[in-house]
């Protein structure tokens, strides 16, 4: 029985201490209470997806890109994967060597054999032989700039059934909008939407996610976009969940092309249309 009501039943108190969500004496301060709320809120979105996969086949393969300290991966394993056994596995992808080593040591200490941590960029992971050919669920939380797009490419190549994204630091589209701004202003009054630099940045971020959603729909996915409640301290609180349904692809492909052309983003066609 948990003495702290915020902690889910069955959650390892030792894990929460190792993740510095709980203090060594088992207390929960305000900052860690917010962090726990965030991870649990995200878990509520992912758990039903895992159950859908489980209903189809027993072994679940999940890849978490830009894993960082692997809060999400460890919570998912502790609450869901550790009772599965068999061949179910979580792979954490991270470029910082010290975080990879720390996560490897923690998984060993907690006896979580179904977790692996790989020192790879998201782009490198697409071709890495250390990962399975097919993956059920792909997550990418705050993978900076084009790393989110690489995570999408990874998911498409691995035929992922579900993709869960919280995009971050989207600069590429904004830089192209900025570069072509002078020519666009002369052509279309709607360019006023992103004429000022702060608007260019904000509009670029918005357009990036719109293009990502169209890209996923153009590969047969059903896409929902929502807000992560409890992430109010962060501006990056948009959650994109894509479920493969083999939906018609022609219309979203046409729309994607129309948006790129309308905004003068034709040079990004390869990024959003390319198949992995």
The beta-strand segments (E) located in the chain are 61-65, 89-94, 115-119, 137-144, 162-168, 221-227, 238-244
Over residues 2-14, the pLDDT tens digits come to: 456 678 888 999 9
Higher pLDDT, 187 or 66: 66
Verdict on whether the full-model pTM lies above 0.75? yes
CA–CA separation, 194 and 12 (whole Å): 48
CATH code assigned to 28-273: 3.40.50.150
pLDDT computed for residue 1 by the predictor:
42
Which pLDDT score, from 0 to 100, does residue 32 have? 81
Domain positions in the chain are 28-273
- 41-92 tens-digit pLDDT: 899 999 999 999 999 999 999 999 999 999 999 999 999 999 997 899 999 9
**Residue 241 scores a pLDDT above 60:** yes
- How is residue 259 written in tokens? 């948006």
């Amino acid at each position: 029985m948990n003495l702290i009501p915020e902690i889910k039943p069955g959650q390892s108190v030792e894990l929460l201490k190792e993740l510095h969500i709980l203090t060594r004496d088992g207390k929960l301060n305000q900052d860690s209470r917010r962090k726990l709320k965030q991870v649990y809120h995200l878990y509520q979105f992912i758990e039903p997806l895992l159950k859908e996969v489980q209903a189809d086949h027993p072994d679940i393969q999940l890849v978490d890109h830009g894993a960082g300290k692997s809060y999400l991966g460890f919570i998912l394993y502790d609450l869901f994967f550790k009772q599965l056994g068999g061949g179910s596995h979580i792979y954490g992808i991270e470029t910082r060597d010290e975080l990879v080593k720390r996560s490897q040591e923690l998984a060993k200490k907690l006896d979580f054999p179904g977790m692996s941590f790989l020192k790879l960029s998201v782009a490198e992971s697409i071709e890495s032989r250390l990962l399975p050919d097919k993956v059920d669920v792909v997550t990418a939380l705050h993978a900076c700039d084009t790393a989110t797009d690489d995570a999408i490419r990874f998911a498409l190549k691995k035929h992922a059934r579900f993709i869960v994204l919280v995009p971050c630091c989207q600069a590429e589209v904004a830089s192209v909008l900025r570069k072509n701004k002078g020519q666009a202003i002369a052509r279309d009054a709607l360019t006023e939407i992103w004429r000022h630099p702060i608007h260019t940045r904000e509009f670029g971020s918005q357009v990036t996610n719109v293009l990502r959603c169209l890209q996923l729909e153009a590969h047969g996915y059903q896409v929902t976009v929502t807000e992560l409640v409890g992430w109010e301290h962060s501006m990056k609180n948009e959650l994109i969940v894509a479920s493969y349904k083999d939906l018609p692809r022609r219309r979203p492909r046409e729309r994607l092309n129309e948006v790129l052309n309308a905004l003068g983003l034709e040079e990004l066609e390869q990024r959003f249309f390319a198949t992995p």
